[in-house]
Structures are given as C-alpha cells and as structure tokens.
Homo-oligomer: A and B are copies of this chain.
Amino acid sequence: MLEKTSPQSDVAEVMADIGRRAKAAARPLAIAGTERKNRALEAMANAIDNRRAEILTANARDVEAARAGGMASSFIDRLQLDDARIDAIITGIRAIAQLDDPVGGVIAAWERPNGLKIERVRTPLGVIGVIYESRPNVTADAGALCLKAGNAVILRGGSDSFHSSRAIHACLVDGLQSAGLPADAIQMVPLSDRAAVGELLTGLDGAVDVIVPRGGKSLVARVQADARVPVFAHLEGICHIYVDASADPKMARAIVTNAKMRRTGICGAVETLLLDRHLEPQVAKGILGDLAAAGCEVRGDDAVQSLLSEAVPASDEDWRTEYLDAIISARFVDDIGGAIDHISRYSSGHTEAVIAEDAGVVSRFFNEVDSAILLHNASTQFADGGEFGMGAEIGIATGKMHARGPVGVEQLTSFKYRVHGAGQTRP
C-alpha cells in the first residue's frame, strides 16, 4: 500500500495500469462459459470459508484502527466481521452462482421480409468500477456479481476496511485462478489516496464503462458530480405513499406502517405520506395514530397536526428530506393530481406507492409519476432486487439511462445484434 502522500503522478500511473489490465481481462472474461464462471464463484466461496481466520485477523486490525481513531459505534458495526457475517458472504456468493447467466441470453428475435433473422443478445458491459465505504462484504458481493455478468471489476473500498477487503479480495483472486480465469478480472485498488478515486472517476482513458458507488449520500454525490463515465446510483430515496379516498382503510394502515417502520434505514422506506383531503378523518387519524404508536415521529401540516396531537409542524425542508429514521413527513393534498404535483416536485425518483381502489386513480399514478418503481397497494419496502426476483443487486439506480431501479446481473450487461443471413445483399 502506497503512503497517503504518494505523488499524484504515481497514483495516475498505478490507476492507468489497473485500467489497462482490467480491459485486457475483460475480453477472455466476456467469452468465459457459465460453468467456468460458476466454478470460480464456488472456489471463491470455499477460499473465504477456508481462510476465515486470516480474514478475521485482518478485520481485527481495521477495527482496532477505527476504534483508535474514535469512529462511532455504528461505523464499527458496519466494519466488523464475525463468523456469521462471513457465512453470509459465502451464502451470497453461492446464490450468485445459482443465478441464470445473463450473457448470451436472447432479448428479442425477429425476421425481416428479406429473410434476415435478427437477434438481440446480452453481452457483458466490460469493466465496472465499484467505489464503496466501510462494509468489507461489498468486496465479495460486487466482485461476484460483476463476474457473473462477465465483467471485469475494479474495486475501491474505503481505507478503513482496507485490510479486511484485501483479505477477501485474495480469496476472490484464488477462485478466479483456480477456474482458469484472469486474476485481473477482479482488481482492488492498492491505494488509500483519495486521488485514486478521482482517477477512477475519469474512466481511466476509456477502460471503465460504468461506475457504481456503494455508500452514503456524500460518496454518491461526489461520484455523480465528478464521474466522466456513466454512474448507476441513487443519491437518496425520498419515497412517497399517496393514500387516496378510495383506499381500503385497513390496507392503507398496514402498508403505511410497514413502509415506514419495518426498516427505517433502507432506501425504500417511505419518507412522506400524502393523504387525500377526501379521506374520512377517522381513516387518516388511524393511519397517523398507527405510525405514532409504532414510535414514529410525525411532522405534518396543520390538518395532520389537528388529527394527531403528537405531530409537530413540517417545514419545507421536511419534504426534501430522506430521514432514514423513525420520522415521517405528512400532509394533505387535494386529490391524485395534488399528489402527483407534490411527488414531481420533491421526489428523488426512487420509489412511490399509491393506496387506492379507484382504477382511474391508479392509472393516473402509474402513467404520470416518473420514478423508477411505482407500487399499487403494496409497501415501498419491496423496492429491492431480491424482492423483484432478480437475485442479488449491486444497488438501485434512479437515472434513466441503461439501468433503472434494482441493478442486478441483467442490468450489468449490454447487448449486440446477431444477424443471420443466407447471402443477402442490400439492393
């Protein structure tokens, strides 16, 4: 590991070399068969299992440094590994081996009047850069997922988890090599300089096809601002639920409480509740009361405060806030039109839900709201690749280009056209 003070030119050189090696590895990887990739994944899982003592020792070193550095206990918790967490990493890699291989899959096929048969088939994207923070398990998750989709990956973990990630990375490389795949298919940036991230974000002279940031808002914001290549990410999940006057009251209460309180720290947790002004006051009161009873702070407009005595006033800032906590903002809107206006103005484009029995309301919501995931009569907490049946995901994207919503193996692919002829020339 170079010192944090390594000159900029050294960083650029090291990173350029990593880029070249990743690009060179991408070609054999792109044509590697499913069986070979799965063999590598299985060998990775076994290597992690066999070398867990080494991994735990490396992790203890990171944890000790973090403690000495006075990091918060929540930070230490994300960083720390134990046998159960290593088991989860192993299980995760084996689950990725079980996924269908997207590469070579035919997305569409048609025949032209001149007899040309055209197929659109999935191909790997190429080289993916993953920038993450203190969770060492991302090393394994991201490495395995990119491999399954036939992509080379450059991993740049947080310096706080450097030793843990390096120990896990060594197991991934073992797995690649034992299956005859190039070790450079999964590289880890050996620098803790922040400048290394800057280099990666340039795309390393065309070597990197896409960047995936995994971490908090400040990391994602920096990546989105500085990257010169496409980024799959969401900055935040300011998710909304609109409860229409036609909603089934019992369903509305169950869904709103679940969407907020099942897990408050995930990006699909609802942050703002929009209540139809035509709702029976008792129904609105029931929904708000359930939230309060479950321990949620409610920040509301006047009408919400009049229905729930514990509610505190919401400011304009509340409509723009992803709490990731047991707090919800709530207000009344005129109807579905008012809900759509509010969402258009404040949403981060991640996930929104409508609770309604009126088909016209649902149809307007589905047509007019432009977010990655829209749900009808279901909890926003289903915004997850696993819940969508995609298997593991590398994240959720709110951009509209290429990948949107959960980013799983299929979203980590591109496509090409194969045209089958019988001697056709163009007139």
Q: What 0/1 pattern do residues 350 to 381 of A give for CB contact below 8 A with B?
A: 00000000000000001110111111111101
Structural contact, A378 and B419, CB atoms closer than 8 A: yes
- Binary contact track A320-335/B, C-beta < 8 Å → 1, others 0: 0000000000000000
Report Cα–Cα, A421/B252, bound state, in Å: 12
Q: Is B424 in contact with A378, judged by CB distance below 8 angstroms? A: yes
A-B contacts besides A31-B367, A230-B230, A382-B419, 11 pairs, CB < 8 Å: A30-B370, A112-B388, A118-B388, A209-B401, A372-B416, A372-B417, A376-B421, A378-B421, A379-B424, A402-B402, A404-B414
Contact assessment for B425 and A389 in the assembled complex, using a CB-CB cutoff below 8 Å: no
A376 to B104 CA separation, bound complex (whole angstroms): 17
Interface size class of A (residues with CB under 8 A): 35 or more
A385 CB to closest chain B CB (Å) equals: 11
Contact present for A379 and B209 (CB under 8 Å) = no
Task: Find out whether the CB atom of B377 lies under 8 angstroms from the CB atom of A424.
Answer: yes
Give complex CA distance A107, B371 in Å: 17
User: Which residues from chain B contact A125 at a C-beta distance below 8 Å?
Assistant: 400-401
Partner-binding segment picked from A85-93, A166-174, A187-195, A254-262: A254-262
Contact B367 A401 (CB under 8 A): no
| A27-B344, A255-B425, A426-B262 known; A417 vs B374 contact (CB < 8 Å) | yes
A217 interfacial by beta-carbon distance below 8 Å: no
What residues on B are CB-neighbors of A388 within 8 Å? 112, 118, 417
Number of copies: 2
Chain B residue nearest to A256 (CB atoms) is: B425
A416 & B404 in contact (Cβ 8 Å cutoff): yes
The verdict on A387 contacting chain B, using a C-beta distance below 8 Å, is: yes
Beta-carbon contact of B230 and A423 below 8 Å: no
C-alpha gap A83/B376 in the complex (Å)? 53
Which chain B residue has the least Cβ–Cβ distance from A415?
B404
* A residues 254-304 in Cβ contact with B at 8 Å: 254-255, 258-259, 262
| A414 CA / B372 CA spacing, docked (Å) | 10
A120 CB to closest chain B CB, in angstroms?
Answer: 8
Whole-angstrom distance from the CB of A113 to the nearest CB of chain B? 9
**Shortest Cβ gap from A374 to chain B (Å):** 5
Residues of chain B with a CB closer than 8 A to A425's CB: 254-255, 258-259, 262, 378-379, 381
B373 and A417 within 8 A (CB): yes
